[in-house]
């Protein structure tokens, strides 16, 4: 049996913990979960509410990836209407970049480069 942890990253403004302290605590918890042998740690994306203060899980999980060795890191809740679909797919797939995740969407490397240039507002055909 494998065990994982799910966190919504609750923040209560009336308590003395700052947002910086919250992020530090989350990273410490992820590192401890890795050391204790948990299978995965999942975060929820939340915006504009103290219930959760992680508007960009890939950023926080990217930081956690540098502090851990074997635990799986994932996102349990993503508010996809807030994100461009290809940008979200790339951000969440960055851990598996050597596997060339754009192939999951049947996209060529040239097409991905074209989408990148288009997204950045550079000239060039899609």
Residues 6+ apart with CB under 8 A from 7: 26, 29, 41, 42, 43, 44
For the entire predicted model, the pTM comes to 0.71
**Chain segment 65-91, per-residue pLDDT in tens:** 889 999 888 888 888 888 888 788 777
Q: Report pLDDT digits (tens) over 12-62.
A: 888 888 889 989 999 999 999 999 999 999 998 888 777 778 888 888 888
């Amino acid at each position: 049996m494998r065990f994982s942890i799910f966190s919504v990253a609750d923040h209560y403004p009336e308590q003395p913990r700052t947002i910086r302290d919250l992020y530090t605590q989350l990273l410490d918890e992820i590192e401890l979960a890795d050391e204790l042998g948990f299978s995965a740690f999942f975060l929820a994306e939340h915006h504009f509410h103290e219930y959760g203060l992680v508007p960009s899980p890939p950023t926080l999980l990217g930081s956690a990836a540098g502090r851990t060795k074997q635990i799986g890191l994932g996102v349990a809740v993503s508010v996809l209407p807030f994100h461009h679909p290809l940008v979200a797919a790339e951000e969440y797939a960055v851990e598996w970049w050597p596997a060339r995740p754009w192939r999951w969407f049947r996209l060529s490397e040239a097409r991905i480069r074209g989408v990148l240039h288009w997204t950045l507002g550079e000239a060039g055909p899609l």
